[in-house]
């Protein structure tokens, strides 16, 4: 508390430096968790470098008088800084993004036709590739399933996900209608996931477990968990893209 007071009240730069040093462990922790779902070409040292900038930003913006836990606040800032740094560096090859688009399009078209969760075999038939190649493709594109509200909704559009967020306290009937259909569409999309895919999504996004921790819980390999996560996200993205077209076509 004394360090926070010295930095925030007195502007003591030495106190700020000590705060940074005290919380470098949070940067390393977040980098370790994030690196699990990224390809080996992404250096953990790069993640840490980006994360340190996020830590500094968190220290500058944190209000210590509110009694909140700084580590929790900082971890979100740090993770966001890491993802922003990776996106700015164009860390995903074009070939990988093209693979992701093909798989997402396949899920969207097939599930629209069958009105159910399609199997890996059906996807392989659609893509005209063997099962082993499809599984490797999922492994390759796992990196693209990390989403950000700062990314464009579509490559050819300037509108980003953040622009779709609306203050729920504002009196906007149109937003409430859109929100209802969005939740309904998302719920149906989640229902179409396989049991294992739903479990991975739940453990990763709601229980905040890493992919390796989920692998231990489900007694599967980390690569298999990564594949299940990729398929789940691509299925959901396909369903939500259909929702966006239906909602705004008129």
CATH number of the CATH domain containing 68: 1.10.1740.10
pLDDT of residue 243: 54
Q: Domain count for the chain, please give it.
A: 2
* 103 and 222 part of one domain: yes
CATH classification of the domain holding 163: 1.10.10.10
* 26 and 104 part of one domain: no
Examine the fold and report which residue of 56, 88, 120 is the final residue of a domain before the chain moves on: 88
pLDDT of residue 149: 43
* 182 and 62 part of one domain: no
* 125 and 183 part of one domain: yes
For every residue of 51-62, DSSP letters joined together read HHHHHHHHHHH-
**Which residues form the domain of 171?**
94-248
Q: What whole-number distance in Å separates Cα of residue 206 and Cα of residue 26?
A: 20
User: Phi and psi (nearest 5°) for 177?
Assistant: -65, -45
The pTM for the full model equals 0.45
Write out residues in the chain with pLDDT < 70, as ranges: 37-41, 89-93, 143-182, 242-250
pLDDT of residue 124: 92
Cβ atoms of 236 and 190 within 8 Å: the answer is: yes
pLDDT in tens, 88-142: 765 566 777 788 888 888 888 888 888 888 888 999 999 999 998 888 888 777 7
* 148 and 105 part of one domain: yes
């Amino acid at each position: 508390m004394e360090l926070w007071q010295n930095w925030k009240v007195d502007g003591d730069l030495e106190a700020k430096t000590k705060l940074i040093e005290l919380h470098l462990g949070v940067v390393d922790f977040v980098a370790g968790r994030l690196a699990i779902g990224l390809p080996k070409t992404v250096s953990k040292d790069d993640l840490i470098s980006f994360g340190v900038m996020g830590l500094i930003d968190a220290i500058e913006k944190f209000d210590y008088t509110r009694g909140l836990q700084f580590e929790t606040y900082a971890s979100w800032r740090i993770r966001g800084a890491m993802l922003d740094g990776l996106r700015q560096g164009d860390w995903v090859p074009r070939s990988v993004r093209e693979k992701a688009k093909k798989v997402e399009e396949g899920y969207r078209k097939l599930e629209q036709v069958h009105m159910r969760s399609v199997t890996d075999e059906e996807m392989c038939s659609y893509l005209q590739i063997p099962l082993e190649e499809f599984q490797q493709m999922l492994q390759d594109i796992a990196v693209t399933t990390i989403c950000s509200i700062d990314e464009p909704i579509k490559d050819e559009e300037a509108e980003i996900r953040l622009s779709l967020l609306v203050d729920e306290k504002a009196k906007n009937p149109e937003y409430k209608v859109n929100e209802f259909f969005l939740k309904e569409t998302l719920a149906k999309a989640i229902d179409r996931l396989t049991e294992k895919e739903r479990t991975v999504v739940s453990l990763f996004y709601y229980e905040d477990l890493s992919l390796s921790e989920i692998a231990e819980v489900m007694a599967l390999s980390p690569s298999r968990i990564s594949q299940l996560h990729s398929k789940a996200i691509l299925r959901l993205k396909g369903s939500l893209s259909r929702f966006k077209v239906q909602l705004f076509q008129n």
